[in-house]
Amino acid sequence: MDPVIHVNNADLVAKIARLVKERGWNQEDFARHADLNRQTARQIMLMTGDRRLRNATIGACARALGLTVSELTDVPLDRLLSRMNLQSPEAAPDDAGLRRLYEQATQPELRGWMERNPERTKQLTEAEIDELLSLQGTGGPLTSLGVEHFVQVIERKRRLIEQVHAIAGTEYLDVLEKMVELMYDKIQPYRNRA
């Protein structure tokens, strides 16, 4: 059986609930990020129940929030909140691309996705930000197919490019080059062949 960490349970639950809300997560987002069952996430978010938090639950919450267990249990809430605000993409003056994405995201679907997925948002490159912003508009692709669809496509392309770069540095460069040429020729049926 997993022992309970000796902290004031009510205070810790309230701290976790506040930090989760600052992340912009709802109960379902919190359960998914922390890999908790929905009932546990609900009890933490609503600060209900007399159930004491186990070490595994506290550890899962800390990891989801980007903290260590000792930070979560020992650092005062106001210090954690100020640290989170300094790290949020909206407040990061050194990252013009993310600031631009937050400022130019006019569709609620895109803004909501960014709030629910801050880590994935931070991984977007300038070109990927431009691509997402270009898909906005009333009745546009972001509305009809959803932001998650387009971000998954962007992430797939990023992974593929990373894999191609890795392969290009090996003895399989010739094979890779031939495969890419074949596929490129296939998508260029009207290309002028001289």
Total-model pTM? 0.46
Give the model's pLDDT for residue 175.
Answer: 93
In DSSP notation, 25-40 reads: --HHHHHHHHT--HHH
pLDDT at residue 165 tops 60? yes
Give the model's pLDDT for residue 189.
Answer: 65
pLDDT at residue 179 tops 90? yes
% pLDDT > 90, the chain:
15
Q: Which of 97, 72, 71, 81 is CA-nearest to residue 23?
A: 81
Is the Cβ–Cβ distance between 149 and 109 less than 8 Å?
no
Structure tokens that stand for 42 in this block: 């609900």
pLDDT digits (tens, 9 = 90+) for 90-149: 333 346 777 888 888 888 888 888 888 888 888 888 888 888 888 887 777 777 688 899
What does the pLDDT average to over 24-37?
A: 88
Q: Which of 64, 66, 69 is CA-nearest to residue 2?
A: 69
Confidence band, pLDDT 50/70/90 cuts, at residue 154: very high
Give the model's pLDDT for residue 99.
Answer: 81
| In the chain, domain spans | 9-87, 95-187
pLDDT digits (tens, 9 = 90+) for 41-68: 998 988 765 668 888 999 999 888 888 8
Q: Locate tokens 């922390």: which residue?
A: 34
% pLDDT > 70, the chain:
83
Superfamily of domain 9-87: lambda repressor-like DNA-binding domains (1.10.260.40)
